[in-house]
Amino acid sequence: MEEITALAKRRGFIFPSSEIYGGINGFWDYGPVGVELKRNVREAWWREMVTLRDDVVGIETSLIMHPEVWRASGHVENFTDMMIDCKTCKKRFRADHLSGDQCPSCGNRTLTEPRAFNLMFRTYVGAMKDATSETYLRPETAQGMFVDFKLAYQAARKKPPFGLAQIGKAFRNEITPGNFIFRSREFELMELEFFVPPEPPEEGLRWHRYWVDERLRWWHDLGIQPERLRRHEYSGADLAHYSSATTDLEYDYPFGWGELEGIAHRGCYDLTQHVEASGKDLSFFDEDSKAKYLPAVVEPALGVDRALLVFLIDAYEKEADRTVLRLHPRLAPYKVAVFPLVRNKPDIVELAAKIERALRPAMRTVFDDSGNVGKRYYRQDEIGTPYCVTVDYDSLQNNDVTVRDRDSKAQIRVSIDKLAEHLKGRL
């Protein structure tokens, strides 16, 4: 994790937030390379979950909602972790992260009794700072989709089974954020609420199994090593009271196995809660069967930041002479880097710049003329660029360039006229 964190900072993936003031725990900034990778992660998820499907539509709801939303959903009362303080060193810990009665920081046995700590950030709306204006930054995006369910299905002219998908920021006042961006206080979620008829119950369970398989396939298709992914099925007392089935996809992080993505069959719980609290009818009316019902929900939920971390970890490899990120080309921040062999020959530099500009509309490119070519290759290897194109003296005479493959380091000559086609075929 230390090596990944150092590389992320050095190469412009992720920086500590407010670092010049000492930083703020649990918050991170994305640099020039990181924003490209993060955008690609979002787009890969959106393409799979929305663009390529005819039974899912997108939605975007506000970060701040009416406070009654969070009372109805149970977050005000139940969205808590158990917290313990050390009376000696004043540090704070999650109770489920401790073993025994000894402080892991100072070693003293001066821990308080566990107490509930609500993870939602409070804020105020309007000029007055009192109980009437108090609300919360959302800890998840799901409730916005439940509240807007009826408006959304009517506007999209959809009927169950169908889904609402959303990507957006969420905030949780974690007691102990850590492991780089694995657990942060500000993060981004990609969530799907897939609404299915509540009867027969077996149909909802079938969709739950379907989405578990689909989500595993997505990870495998983007290059995650299968042996580093596993399913964790919840049962009995470990299931939430409203859940018929819950499966976590877990990843083998450098610090051990941990949650990556959750797929939960939430039943009709959420819509029922909002119907009772608001007094509004959120039922779906099926014109064909004349049936009226509240759908059940299957929810695959994934953090963008955690997904990005897993792609970095899984792609990271140290070789004898270089560090390389073997990112799937669809995720790579830059698809192609274009170099002039030397920077003191205007004709070569001009041709390289012209080639980079010509490729730019078709793929994400970067122009680099800093340092020698070998260093440029390894710099691009470290950020996961699949291909490097070098313009040299022969390029001026033969109208071709050298194309280098990131993973094999193999180099071939390609005609400039056919370069775009050659690269597109491999990306």
Q: Which CATH superfamily is 336-426 part of?
A: Anticodon-binding domain (3.40.50.800)
pLDDT digits (tens, 9 = 90+) for 38-49: 999 999 999 999
Whether the pLDDT of residue 62 is over 90: the answer is yes
Banded model confidence at residue 356, pLDDT cuts 50, 70, 90: very high
Cis preceding linkage at 200, omega within 30: yes
Tell me what the mean pLDDT of segment 116-145 comes to.
Answer: 93
Q: Is CATH 3.30.930.10 the right assignment for the domain spanning 2-64+125-314?
A: yes
Whole-angstrom Cα Rg for the chain: 25
C-alpha dihedral, 322 to 8 to 184 to 149, nearest 10°: -90
Whether the pLDDT of residue 250 is over 90: the answer is yes
2-64+125-314 and 336-426: same fold?
no
What rounded mean pLDDT belongs to the chain? 96
pLDDT digits (tens, 9 = 90+) for 291-320: 999 999 999 999 999 999 999 999 999 999
| Model pLDDT, residue 76 | 93
| Model pLDDT, residue 153 | 95
Domain locations along the chain? 2-64+125-314, 336-426
| Model pLDDT, residue 132 | 84
Q: Where are the beta strands (DSSP E) in 104-174?
A: 115-118, 122-124, 134-136, 162-171
Tell me what the mean pLDDT of segment 401-422 comes to.
Answer: 98
DSSP for 187-230, please give it. Answer: EEEEEEEEEE-SSSHHHHHHHHHHHHHHHHHHHHHTT--GGGEE
pTM here is 0.94
Phi-psi region at 267: left, alpha or beta (left = phi > 0; alpha = psi -120 to 50): left
pLDDT digits (tens, 9 = 90+) for 168-198: 999 999 998 999 999 999 999 999 999 999 9
Banded model confidence at residue 127, pLDDT cuts 50, 70, 90: confident
| Model pLDDT, residue 99 | 84
pLDDT digits (tens, 9 = 90+) for 155-171: 999 999 999 999 999 99
